[in-house]
Every structure is written in structure tokens, then in C-alpha cells.
């Protein structure tokens, strides 16, 4: 592992010429060198093996739900956002204990749609109250990273934190297009710092889930929470649980991918600027590297991942294989021009190398060898864009995701 001093002086490579030569593990080739040629064989033998490799070498285990998990609907307001939305706030309790570990879910549903709606689901970085100024949203009382502009003081949100990340959550646009939105604070599952596991579900649920804290990383814990939101959505009659699109930005985009790899109830997968340990190919030396991410964020992955710090070529998987686990579900990968740290080209190539698995299902992927120009999305079942601007999730990104969902979910509805 890099020493702290080395990490501080880490010089990322941003020259395509210095990316280095690498050979990706073939997504459709077994360890014995046999080629997989049908979707049946992929599902029966190859897919489970790849999933198990990601669990062992990268993210750790992904347990099922707890036996005594239950939901409490705290509030339903059908006059939210000027009457446009129904706002529900639901707490998911993971055990039956009075002090059960829990997670607070915020759900907005569009009032103009009378039938069960498709829903976007994603975790947020600063509490449910940060996604909208809506005063009816319960203010999170959990630990969160201090942030002056967001008015997070002494690791707690304040009234001034409301709507701090509203630009990342265009709720009105999502609702106007007939979709619901479900979100929860990722820190409800595990506070995002190296000691966070001590108070997060990796510790508090270890007996319930019969899993030791070191058997999974924070990304897996966050991903697990996404599946629990899905458990709730399946019980909500106003939601079309067959049309849930899982989304996530950056580290939460990594978690979204891992959740969707394990849980195929998510019918569409969207990863925004998820970079290293997300969509970007690990073997490319560009921007953030495997060694660097393991040094800065040692709690995100299992300790075995660190064994590849200086020999990424030995890693039995690469991220295109994670993307292949989404097949045949529609997958959207988004990058940003100024987010070179996340390696946009590595994100594009990863999507590209996932295509053979989509082809087994007769589904067209990106349909191009070339990285597209700025703000020229490409692809059918795998879609990709790179927009102008920095590491962020913007209205432009959401508009593309909504259009992608319109295309695929309406096709399903018609079939
Ligand atoms: C850091 C980290 C990335 C991560 C990002 C984020 O930049 O190095 O891997 O995706 O934070 O979550 O915003």
C-alpha cells in the first residue's frame, strides 16, 4: 500500500500515451479457456462465477435481507411540491429491536399519473433534506461530512442544509415526465470514513446477517441498502416495481453498479461519473488508480483488493465484467469532460467491452468503436455520453437518463 506521504504526492497520469499496455480478462471466456456462446450458459455458469470474483476480490459479500426487516410509513403528503407530488417518508427498520438500525427513505410520486409509476432510485450524499428545499422532508440527524457551503456543522446537518444538493436532483423534471424518485442517505448504512464501519450496518447487523465487518466493504453496504429500498418499493402499490432504474453518482455510482450486479430486480442501471472501482477500467493507468483509491478510501473495498495495488494485471476481473453483469438490462454510462480523474475514456471502453454479453441476448450496445463527441449520446441497450463540465450530476445528465428510460420502459409496457 502507498504510504500517506506517497498518496499526497500521487501524480495521476493524464496522457493517453502513458496509459500502458494491458490485456483485459475476456468476459466470455472461462478460466479453462472455453468460449461462452449462449445467454443460457452465460447465466448458468459464467455470470455467477464473475459475480463471485467481484465479491471475493473487490467489493465483498452482498447478503440477503434481514429476517425481521419491516417498514414504517411516517408520512404521506399528497399536496407536496405545490400539489404536483405525493411525498412519502418511510423508515426501513432492519431488525425488530427497539433501537433497530434503520434507513429513512424519501419517495416522491407524480400526482398526474394514476397508474403505478416507474421509479428512479439512488442514494444521496447529504441526507434526504439536501435534495429539495421542501420543508416537509425530515432533516437527517446522522453523522455526515462537514461542509461549510452545505451548512453541515459538527458533522450534523442544520436547517440551512435543506436543498444543498438540489441541482443534482431535478425532482420536478423527473415527476413531470411521469417518474417517481426514491432516495436515502448513504450514511444511514455506513458513515463514509475509515472508522464508519464501527457504527454502520457492517457492525450493527453482523449477527442478523451472519457476516463479519471485514467480509464486505462500505460500497457493498451502501449497495445492500439500495436493495432494501427495492424491497420497500415492491410493497408500494403506487410503484411499478418492474420498472425501477437504479442510479448513482461517483462513489454512489459504484454502489449502484454493485447493487444491480447482485440484484436483478433493478430493471435499468445508470452510472454517472463512477470512475475507478465503478465503470472505469482498472487496468488503464489514467486518473485515479486502484492503488490510489485503496489508499484514500481503504474502507470501500475488501482488503484483498489491496493485493492488486501494484499488480492490477493479476486482478481476475476488470470493470467491463461488472458492466456485463447488467445484461440484458438497459445500461447508461455517463462521463464528464473535466472529470479526467474518473477516466472518461476508460468508462467508455468498459462499456464497449461489455457489449459481447449484450450481443448474446441480441441486444445492441454502443454501436460504435469511437468515443462520441461531447454531448452526442450513443448506443441502444448500452448508452454512453460525455458532457461538458466537471465531476457532477446535472440536469443534462438526468434528461438523457429520462429519455433512455422513456425508450426502454415504454417499450416494455407496449410488449
Ligand atoms: C473521489 C474518489 C472517487 C469518487 C469520488 C466521489 O474523487 O477518488 O473514486 O468517485 O471521490 O465519490 O465523488
The per-residue pLDDT for range 36-67, each reduced to its tens digit, is 999 999 999 999 999 999 999 999 999 999 99
By three-state DSSP, how is residue 288 classified?
coil
Distance of alpha carbon 207 from alpha carbon 210, whole angstroms: 5
Neighbours of 148 (CB within 10 A): 7
Model pLDDT for residues 127-169, shown as the tens digit of each residue: 999 999 999 999 999 999 999 999 999 999 999 999 999 999 9
Tell me the CB-side half-sphere exposure of residue 398, using CA atoms within 13 A.
21
At residue 410, the pLDDT reads 83
At residue 1, the pLDDT reads 42
- Model confidence at 4: pLDDT above 70: no
- Model confidence at 235: pLDDT above 90: yes
Q: How confident is the model at residue 2 (pLDDT cuts 50, 70, 90)?
A: very low
As for the ipTM of the complex, it is: 0.98
CB 251 within 8 A of CB 241: no
Cis preceding-peptide flag for 328 (omega within 30 of 0): yes
Instruction: Tell me which residue has cell 437504479.
Output: 246
C-alpha cell at position 305: 483488493
- Model confidence at 209: pLDDT above 80: yes
3-state secondary structure 165-186: CHHHCCHHHHHHCCCEEEEEEH
3: left (phi over 0), alpha (psi -120 to 50) or beta: beta
Task: Tell me if 276 CB under 6 Å of ligand 1.
Answer: yes
> 35 CA to middle of ligand 1, Å?
35
Tell me the CB-side half-sphere exposure of residue 60, using CA atoms within 13 A.
24
Question: Which numbered atom of ligand 1 lies nearest the CA of 293?
Answer: 8
- Model confidence at 114: pLDDT above 70: yes
Active-site residue, selected from the candidate residues 130, 250, 274, 335: 250
Cα-flanking dihedrals φ and ψ of residue 122, to 5°? -165, 150
CB 301 within 8 A of CB 59: yes
> 263 CA to middle of ligand 1, Å?
24
At residue 5, the pLDDT reads 46
CA-nearest residue for atom 13, ligand 1, is 250
Task: Tell me if 271 CB under 6 Å of ligand 1.
Answer: no
C-alpha cell at position 266: 433493478
At residue 61, the pLDDT reads 98
> 383 CA to middle of ligand 1, Å?
22
> 340 CA to middle of ligand 1, Å?
12
End-to-end, the C-alpha distance of the chain in Å comes to 52
- Model confidence at 292: pLDDT above 50: yes
Q: Which of 238, 201, 199 is nearest to 219 (CA)?
A: 201
Distance of alpha carbon 286 from alpha carbon 305, whole angstroms: 18
Give me the mean pLDDT over the 336-342 stretch. Answer: 98
67: left (phi over 0), alpha (psi -120 to 50) or beta: alpha
Residue 63 to residues 221, 228, 292, Cα–Cα distance (Å): 9, 11, 28
C-alpha cell at position 101: 438500525
- Known active-site residue 249: no
Question: Which numbered atom of ligand 1 lies nearest the CA of 296?
Answer: 8
Tell me the CB-side half-sphere exposure of residue 96, using CA atoms within 13 A.
2
- Known active-site residue 161: no
Task: Tell me if 259 CB under 6 Å of ligand 1.
Answer: no
* Arithmetic mean of pLDDT over the chain: 96
CB 201 within 8 A of CB 39: no
Tell me the CB-side half-sphere exposure of residue 293, using CA atoms within 13 A.
29
> 62 CA to middle of ligand 1, Å?
22
Task: Tell me if 293 CB under 6 Å of ligand 1.
Answer: yes
Best residue for ligand 1 mutational test, from 12, 186, 249, 275 (most atoms within 8 Å of Cβ) = 275
- Model confidence at 414: pLDDT above 70: no
- Model confidence at 268: pLDDT above 60: yes
Amino acid at each position: 500500500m502507498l504510504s500517506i506521504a506517497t498518496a499526497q504526492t500521487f501524480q495521476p497520469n493524464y496522457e493517453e500515451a502513458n496509459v500502458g499496455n494491458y490485456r483485459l480478462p475476456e468476459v466470455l471466456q472461462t478460466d479453462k479457456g472455453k468460449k461462452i456462446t449462449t445467454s443460457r450458459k452465460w447465466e448458468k455458469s459464467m455470470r455467477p462465477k464473475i459475480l463471485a470474483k467481484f465479491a471475493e476480490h473487490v467489493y465483498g459479500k452482498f447478503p440477503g435481507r434481514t429476517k425481521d426487516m419491516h417498514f414504517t410509513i411516517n408520512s404521506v403528503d399528497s399536496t407536496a411540491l405545490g400539489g404536483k407530488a405525493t411525498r412519502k417518508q418511510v423508515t426501513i427498520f432492519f431488525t425488530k429491536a427497539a433501537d433497530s438500525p434503520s434507513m429513512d427513505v424519501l419517495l416522491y410520486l407524480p400526482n398526474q399519473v394514476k397508474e403505478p409509476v416507474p421509479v428512479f432510485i439512488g442514494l444521496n450524499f447529504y441526507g434526504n433534506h439536501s435534495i429539495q428545499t421542501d420543508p416537509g422532508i425530515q432533516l437527517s440527524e446522522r453523522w455526515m461530512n462537514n461542509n461549510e457551503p452545505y451548512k453541515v456543522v459538527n458533522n450534523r446537518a442544520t436547517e440551512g442544509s435543506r436543498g444543498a444538493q438540489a441541482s443534482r436532483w431535478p425532482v420536478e423534471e423527473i415527476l413531470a415526465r411521469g417518474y417517481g424518485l426514491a432516495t436515502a442517505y448513504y450514511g444511514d448504512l455506513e458513515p463514509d470514513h475509515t472508522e464508519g464501519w464501527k457504527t454502520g450496518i457492517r457492525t450493527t447487523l453482523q449477527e442478523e446477517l451472519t457476516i463479519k465487518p471485514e467480509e464486505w466493504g462500505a460500497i457493498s453496504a451502501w449497495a445492500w441498502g439500495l436493495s432494501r429500498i427495492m424491497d420497500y418499493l415492491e410493497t408500494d402499490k403506487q410503484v411499478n416495481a418492474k420498472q425501477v432504474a437504479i442510479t448513482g453518482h461517483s462513489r454512489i455510482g459504484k454502489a449502484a453498479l454493485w447493487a444491480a450486479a447482485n440484484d436483478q430486480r433493478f430493471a435499468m442501471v445508470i452510472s454517472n461519473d463512477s470512475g475507478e472501482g465503478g465503470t472505469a477500467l482498472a487496468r488503464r493507468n489514467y486518473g485515479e488508480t486502484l492503488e490510489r483509491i485503496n489508499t484514500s478510501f481503504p474502507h470501500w473495498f475488501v482488503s484483498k483488493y489491496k493485493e492488486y495495488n501494484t499488480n492490477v494485471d493479476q486482478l481476475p476481473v476488470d470493470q467491463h465484467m461488472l458492466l456485463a453483469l447488467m445484461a440484458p438490462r438497459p445500461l447508461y454510462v455517463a462521463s464528464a469532460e473535466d472529470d479526467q480523474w474518473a477516466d472518461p475514456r476508460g468508462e467508455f471502453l468498459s462499456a464497449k467491452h461489455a457489449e459481447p454479453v449484450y450481443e448474446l441476448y441480441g441486444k445492441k450496445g454502443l454501436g460504435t468503436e469511437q468515443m462520441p463527441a461531447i454531448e452526442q449520446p450513443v448506443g441502444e441497450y448500452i448508452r454512453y455520453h460525455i458532457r461538458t463540465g466537471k465531476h457532477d450530476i446535472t440536469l443534462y445528465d438526468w434528461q438523457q437518463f429520462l429519455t433512455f428510460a422513456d425508450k426502454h420502459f415504454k417499450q416494455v409496457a407496449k410488449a
